[in-house]
Amino acid sequence: MTPPVFLTGSGDLDHDRVVLAGPEGRHAATVRRLRVGETVDLADGAGTRARCVVTDVGRDTVAFAIEERHREPAPAPRMTVVQALPKGDRGELAVEVMTEAGVDAIVPWSADRCVTRWKPDRVAKSLGRWRSAAREAAKQARRSRVPEVTEPTATGQVAALLGAATLGIVLHEETDRRLSSLPLPDTVAAGGADAEIVLVVGPEGGFTDAELAAFDRAGAVRALLGPSVLRTSTAGVAALAVLQARCGRW
């Protein structure tokens, strides 16, 4: 079994010894109950991973000695999912499972037909929950990189993301082009370092004609996952699995 992963601050892994404190240290000491001599991985959330040995355990701190460290290259092509805001806690579920499946960035989108609305005074709290879900899921999945969760985005900005991508995809049930056989640009299929896929997952109420028209003008293609209709909170992870396999990331 691979060692558990704990996240450190930026630059902490530049030293030979690291002390994990705060909520992460408390979790390591009191929840995971790490003991002296155990091996763990520390990651900075941006691609650096270090294999470490526990040297001391306090009430809410754990000290480590770094045995080896390395920089893991960013997966390619980059995969960004634009996620329409689901209702209830399904947003955190979507972030969690997409993070486990390897998404690189998640863009919250307030689509016209979203049931959920992030009111201005609640944006920071809602965004914090999504980012916390990404952080915890990255640790669970033993990832060295925590996916970026951006600020909420409007339809015009989503169209711009699609237009700038190597391949822009809109999941839609009214098309005969299946995601599993959609033609991929050569740079995407070859895992080019500068290639990016932007995938749009719509809301429970579906896309409006205006949204689809904006995405069409941006050059996005519509793709069908399969014969069943998935929830907005699970469509993203299913599509990621298909794309990860087709691009050689899995």
Q: What share of the chain in percent tops pLDDT 90?
A: 85
Token representation of residue 38: 């155990």
67 and 82 belong to one structural domain: no
Residue with tokens 């003008």: 217
106 and 187 belong to one structural domain: yes
Q: How do residues 137-156 score in pLDDT, each as one tens digit?
A: 999 999 999 999 999 999 99
Mean pLDDT computed over every residue of the chain: 94
45 and 124 belong to one structural domain: no
Count of CB atoms within 10 A of residue 178's CB? 13
Decide: 152 and 110 in contact? Cβ < 8 Å: yes
What is residue 192's predicted lDDT score, i.e. its pLDDT?
Answer: 84
Task: Give me the helices (H) in 101-249, please.
Answer: 123-140, 155-164, 186-189, 209-217, 232-246
pLDDT above 80 for 1: no
Q: What share of the chain in percent tops pLDDT 70?
A: 100
65 and 142 belong to one structural domain: no
How many residues in the chain? 250
130 and 243 belong to one structural domain: yes
Q: What CATH number corresponds to the domain at position 34?
A: 2.40.240.20
Mean pLDDT of 75-86: 96
What is residue 189's predicted lDDT score, i.e. its pLDDT?
Answer: 83
Token representation of residue 55: 């040297």
What is residue 86's predicted lDDT score, i.e. its pLDDT?
Answer: 93
Decide: 212 and 170 in contact? Cβ < 8 Å: yes
178 and 220 belong to one structural domain: yes
Domain boundary among 13, 47, 71: 71
124 and 160 belong to one structural domain: yes
Q: What CATH number corresponds to the domain at position 194?
A: 3.40.1280.10
Mean pLDDT of 203-231: 94
Q: How do residues 45-58 score in pLDDT, each as one tens digit?
A: 999 999 999 999 99
Domain boundary among 47, 71, 95: 71
152 and 45 belong to one structural domain: no
Token representation of residue 155: 């339809």
Which residues does residue 80 pair with via DSSP β-bridges, in sequence order?
105, 198
State the pLDDT confidence band at 213, using cuts at 50, 70 and 90: very high
Q: How do residues 155-201 score in pLDDT, each as one tens digit?
A: 999 999 999 999 999 999 989 999 999 999 998 888 888 999 999 99
Residue with tokens 């809301």: 203
Q: Which domain holds residue 183?
A: 78-247
Strands 78-84 and 105-109: parallel
Decide: 89 and 64 in contact? Cβ < 8 Å: no
Token representation of residue 197: 């896929």
What is residue 41's predicted lDDT score, i.e. its pLDDT?
Answer: 96
What is residue 122's predicted lDDT score, i.e. its pLDDT?
Answer: 87
58 and 87 belong to one structural domain: no
Domain boundary among 48, 71, 94: 71
What is residue 52's predicted lDDT score, i.e. its pLDDT?
Answer: 96
Q: In whole angstroms, what is the distance from residue 110 CA to residue 94 CA?
A: 15
What is residue 229's predicted lDDT score, i.e. its pLDDT?
Answer: 84
Give the total number of structural domains in the chain. 2
Query: Is this prediction's pTM over 0.85?
Result: yes
- Give the residue from 122, 95, 125, 121 showing the smallest Cα distance to 108: 95
What is residue 116's predicted lDDT score, i.e. its pLDDT?
Answer: 87
**Listing from the earlier edge strand, what are the strands of the sheet with 39-43?**
5-7, 39-43, 48-57, 62-71, 17-20
